Amino acid sequence: MTGNRLKEVPENLINRIFKKPRRRTHLVSSLKEVNELADRLAKHFPQPVKAKIGLTELLTNALEHGNLGITSKEKSQLLQAGKYYQHLEKCIKATPRQKLALQLEVFKNQTETRISIKDQGQGFDYKNHQEQQNLQPAISGQGIKIARELCFDQINYTEGGTKVTVCSFKTDKI
């Protein structure tokens, strides 16, 4: 078998096989916009309903705790007093628009869908948060647990807790 040559692989096929993540910046200035963004992103996942629930929780966290700096304790107190949503609106109006931006990365191929959400906050100690949730379940702080246990195959925090990456794997199960 002489003269056996490798066939040239078309560039578009290479790009589809080794697809790079798409990066986008989204300004999110309300919970309604969080919900709409979660809806659009969830369509990339094998189980969009589950993904939407998890993405809504994580995008809400990125806006409230990351970009706006509202602590879990503060949120709990305001919710109990029935004043949280007014406070949230006030914080959003007082925040410069560029501070409301979330950086998103979307990657999808035949076997997995992966989305990263990066906020502009100070971050948090994810491992300590997870341990505290296991020891003392609270009213607030359930979003990460819901996303981790019910919505995605993997969830990882990096960059000091300012970036969360979720992943779902496509299976042939019906």
Q: Write down all domains in the chain, each with its CATH number in brackets.
A: 23-169 (3.30.565.10)
User: In whole angstroms, what is the distance from residue 38 CA to residue 54 CA?
Assistant: 8
Q: What is the pLDDT of residue 142?
A: 79
The residue among 128, 143, 136 whose CA lies nearest residue 75 is: 143
Phi-psi region of 112 (alpha: psi -120 to 50; beta: other; left: phi over 0): beta
Query: pTM higher than 0.75, yes or no?
Result: yes
- C-beta of residue 83 within 8 angstroms of C-beta of residue 138: no
**Chain position carrying tokens 């019906």:** 174
Q: What is the pLDDT of residue 53?
A: 97
User: In whole angstroms, what is the distance from residue 126 CA to residue 72 CA?
Assistant: 13
Q: What is the pLDDT of residue 37?
A: 95
Q: What is the pLDDT of residue 14?
A: 47
Average pLDDT per 10 consecutive residues for the chain, totaling 174 residues: 48 53 84 94 94 96 95 90 94 92 91 94 80 59 85 94 94 58
